[in-house]
Amino acid sequence: MEETLEFARSAHDGKPQLPLALRLIRNTGVQKRHLVQPIEKTLRHPGLTERNRIYEIESKKRCPQVVEQALQNADMTARDIDAIIYVSCTGFLMPSLTAWLINTLGFRSDTRQIPIAQLGCAAGGAAINRAHDFCLAHPGNNVLIVACELCSLCYQPDADDIGSLLSDGLFGDAVAAAVVRGSGGTGIELERNASYLIPHTEDWISYSVRDTGFHFQLDRRVPGTMEPLAPVLREFAKDHSWDIGSLDFYIVHAGGPRILDDLAKFLDVDREVFRHSWATLTEYGNIASAVVLDAARRLFEQDTPRPEATGLIAGFGPGITAEMALGRWGADAPARLGKAA
């Protein structure tokens, strides 16, 4: 945090919006972030070609270790995976990194490739939902999710509007992976998923694509989106005969402190139920699609639910889009018919 504030002061010294930006950065709750490059290099812009080259190098360097850990956690090998969902909004490769992963890490040549590039922070939830759908359509199949978000490669040194300065102090880099099994295993047994788009908000979170790459654009109305989305989440749970305020665990996107505080307020739950999301925000910053996967990791490692405990997974991002899932905690038991874990 202190380094971020100091670099903001030096890079935008004398600009009238700087005091407000510094105050907003202090209020993000982010204490530490991880970057794929030293911050001095991050603050320079070598051009889109070089940045995308770094994205390719770093994604290929960092994804294998989390993929291997995810497979180990699921007690599987690469040969057991039937589809790979790769999500990222911070770089571009064609073919997708899925092709490289298949060729490099021993996945079968008939592994399906499902890259998702334009759902931003909502893509973590979307990946879980599309993996759930795939397992329902192909009983017994298994899906690997990989999220690679190198947000620092989108930093624009000349962007000095409040939204840009705030995002410069909020987003971090991360790579995460998880396995959705078609049957068996220990984890969240997915029961239902849904998507929702708040009408006419597609320009609230967006990229302006220019010669210098992706310019992140954030509308001042974005922090208030939990008020219209909370009733959607409530109705989603109600349709499943669950009470959104009485679940046992909540894995939600940590877009910023107001997002989490407002969601607690409008769902009428204690902010402590989002403790894993708060921890991700504090220790890593907003890591886009990887937030829900890291928050889920914390649930697994620090706060293992009792069998049959009920929970919510929710990702929010451009659109404004919400990707939602409900599930129960299952441990070393065959998945129920029509469910994936």
Which tokens belong to 293?
């996967």
DSSP annotation of 89 reads S
Query: Would you place residue 337 in the very low, low, confident or very high pLDDT band (cuts 50, 70, 90)?
Result: very low
Residue 199: predicted pLDDT: 96
- Convert the pLDDT of each residue in 58-103 to its tens digit: 999 999 999 999 999 999 999 999 999 999 999 999 999 999 999 9
Please report, rounded to a whole number, the percentage of residues in the chain having pLDDT higher than 70: 97
- Convert the pLDDT of each residue in 156-192 to its tens digit: 988 878 778 888 889 999 999 999 999 999 999 999 9
- The mean pLDDT of 142-150, rounded to a whole number, is 98
How many Å apart are CA 252 and CA 275, to the nearest integer? 10
- The mean pLDDT of 257-267, rounded to a whole number, is 95
Residue 338: predicted pLDDT: 32
Residue 158 is inside which H or E element, if any?
none
How many Å apart are CA 85 and CA 177, to the nearest integer? 10
Is the pTM higher than 0.85? The answer reads: yes
Count the neighbouring beta carbons within 10 Å of the beta carbon of residue 291: 31
Residue 334: predicted pLDDT: 41
Which tokens belong to 107?
């996945």
> Which among 121, 135, 151, 154 is annotated as catalytic?
121
Residue 25: predicted pLDDT: 85
Name the residue with tokens 């649930």: 299
How many Å apart are CA 228 and CA 6, to the nearest integer? 36
**Residue type at 262 in one-letter notation:** D
Residue 339: predicted pLDDT: 34
Residue 2: predicted pLDDT: 87
How many Å apart are CA 55 and CA 145, to the nearest integer? 18
Report the sign of the C-alpha dihedral through residues 138, 144, 145, 150, in that order.
negative
How many Å apart are CA 285 and CA 170, to the nearest integer? 6
Active site residue 154: no
